[in-house]
Chains A and B, each alone.
Chain A
């Protein structure tokens, strides 16, 4: 595949993302038109339509795009880091860890400020990533990728059980916490996104800078070391990026599953395994997937909405099963 084709794919991805963001602003329960949306920017008149567009739809579209992008890129980095086709922030319990800390903060200490939610999510994600890292390298050669997936699932189950246990401590917070835990880009606060955005941006930027090193790491530990790569440093840097991207995403939207697992596979089959192309392309595809799922989620049981996490699970589970069945690493 030539560089031109790859650039073309990236371009198409960007265009698709922009179109879907626009569609996400226009379509939904409240009737709005393309013209109405345009007017709300040029001549805001305080009508219901304009208010919905400016305060509900636009934040929602922006959040879906950013979260989808972060989760997908975190998935790529994890899959390379763990050499595991099933690795992703949700399967290995990173999302659940971040969720656990946020709920604990909400329920036990009543913290509600955007900054503290963000930091709690980062701490939780970091703790879970650390557990995964230790389990992956403990023993003589660590766990095999498949067993690692199982261990991650157990960690995720543990965190989510304890999270649900914490919810009984504070009835008043239950609603807020349940809503957050459902994993959704709807009704989220734009300020929260803005306070997380610097970290997400740092994660994306860092991922792009690390892309070359990830290419080397993907060739295997021994080869990478032979080529003069500081594998230890690269792995720790990559883990930190996962924490930034996945933790930040969870802080805004709650745990949304399966974006981080499906997208890297699709992206790899289209654009190849060069991380310098794979990472941005995955980011775009992740944004596209989450935007499309979010738009679809408004129409399935109208006037109610399906949480977007349910939508991604509906698409993601068959895919997960396909990979699990295909896996040459059947052990």
Chain B
């Protein structure tokens, strides 16, 4: 691969000016597969460009069948065209998919996706994650700022290629440190169990001679795969772990935490997470209780039918109903159809925030409904008869009898619901991915803490910072739970 020194900005600007005089905007003169650069599960393509005017990004589409329109293909990757002067080039091998422009590794935006300058004449990219020994058809299209394909691309002629290198897992990195830690944990635990068993045998707990053997596998699994990662995660939060230097992280003290607390989006995303969680729990409990009250009425006909239908949001895999809601909320989706409008519901901050909350409310009601109807049925009915005889109104009965008796159910359920909502990743990731974005590189308007942690970890590859966010989330939850338990205990003592 030839390497060309970067052009001085003045010349680049001039070049850009000259090129933009050309007529056919966004013409791709040639797309070819660099067969000599083929690697495991990877195809490298090279694209020659005559004119990048009006081009916002190039998109690489692929399919296992020939295709003529993009609806029959899958999007593989995007290369943005933008001013690269304030971005950094990322060295080869640092990202999942290496990209080059005019022979040099491309610049990358903070999200890690490649950006090429409008002046670039030739760029190439690795397409990874392909299935070995499979035929692929690949097409590259240029897209303008409004998201439309540039002209002359109505009929696509994708090029055909094949992944030839057989399936084999890449040689794993050095596993010895991790394995030795895991093995030592296992050995320690085993030793502990044997010791405990000895003790029990000596003290004559007859039934216990197999107990430890029964519990050991589960506990070892838990220690190795839950407790160890937790400790490891806490350690990571004090290091500079990054996807580009895996296994070489070093201790950097509280730097990550300082960064998190001083990052401009921290307060905003925390606030929205709290609003999100509180709104969800309140609505889940409120609507769940309302439905449970109606469904536990003695003389209601069709109870079974109603309960079965109302359980659907719980029964259907969450990601499916979430994506269905995403479809409903599109500009050409059901919601706009019903109202006869074409509102971009998910690109306005307030409506996007309200709608993701509403979708999550929809998802969570059945669980609360069922838990609360169980609790309602456990309340003795003659208590209400006694109140009837005392002339207590139905409303007072609900406030003074039903609610206090549900408290022992609602209190832990609300806490649980709060923790679940706090960590509800799927709804926001699938519907908005945190968009609409507020500021470049900051959490979006609908990001909650956990979706932002995902971005930090897997879009930016900053594992250390992500671990610090995780630890902070965890501490927030611990603090909240602690206060909550204290408070509810206190009110219980008073009541």
Q: Do A and B bind each other?
A: no
Residues of B within 8 A of A (CB): none
